[in-house]
A = this chain, B = another copy of it.
Amino acid sequence: MLVITDMKTTKDRILESALKLFSQKGYLGTTTKEIAKEANVAEVTLFRYFTSKENLFIEVIKSQSFLPTLKDLIPKLKEMDYYKALETTAKYYVKLLKKKQNLIHIMLSEMFKYPEEIREIHNKIIQEVHRVFAEYLDYLKTSGNVKNDINSVYASSAYFGMLFSIFLKKELFKKAINLNEAIHTCVKIFYEGTKKREFE
């Protein structure tokens, strides 16, 4: 007799539970007992799959680090006008942050405890997103849509910085903000601040 539903392996269940709890209570604030309970296994079982709590943490991080960058989005962006592209990017990015909230939480809280691992993630994901967007801006420079005297990399950083900041405010600090309006403000400022005007 075979049970088809709930086919998640024990290992996956542990990883999931760990991700959830680490992000809610931090690495030290989460006990292996809690993780085991959440995953519905005995505490020992956890150590059959992961050599230690620390190893489990690293694995949780690794399991999260394969995020979509913007790469696949760029071709579509090139078909839109600049404003629309910015708006699309912003929405995509904020949605991504929302979806990967747990990872973000962990990155922010454990930065000082596992700097190596966290920085690697940052490079792989955040950094990569910025880099790809910077390329897009460079492309727009050549096509005459964006000012030439803007440093694409720092501009890219600034754009996502604004958006990240909004995300922090809403999700971390639980401020009641109008997400759409906030995003539009960012888009507008960035659009007006970077687009090439006639006679420039």
Q: Which residues of A contact B (CB under 8 A)?
A: 23-26, 28-29, 105, 108-113, 115, 119, 122, 127, 149-151, 154-155, 157-158, 160-166, 168-169, 172-175, 177, 181-182, 185-186, 188-194
Look across to chain B and name the residue whose beta carbon is closest to the beta carbon of A158.
B162
* A154-B182, A165-B160 known; A173-B28 Cβ under 8 A: no
Q: How far is the CB of A31 from chain B (nearest CB, A)?
A: 11
Mostly, the A contact residues are helix
Minimal Cβ-Cβ distance residue in B for A23: B112
For A29, what are the chain B residues with a Cβ–Cβ distance below 8 Å?
28, 112-113
Which residues of B are found within 8 Å of A182, using beta-carbon distances?
151, 154, 157-158
Taking a contact as CB atoms closer than 8 A, the residue among B112, B151, B185 that contacts A185 in the complex is B151
Across the two chains, which residue of chain B brings its CB closest to A110?
Answer: B109
A26 with B165, Cβ < 8 A, contacts A174-B119, A190-B193, A193-B191 known: no
Between A and B, 18 residue pairs with Cβ closer than 8 Å are: A25-B113, A26-B112, A26-B113, A28-B29, A29-B112, A109-B109, A151-B181, A151-B182, A151-B185, A154-B182, A157-B166, A158-B182, A158-B185, A158-B189, A161-B161, A161-B165, A165-B165, A189-B190
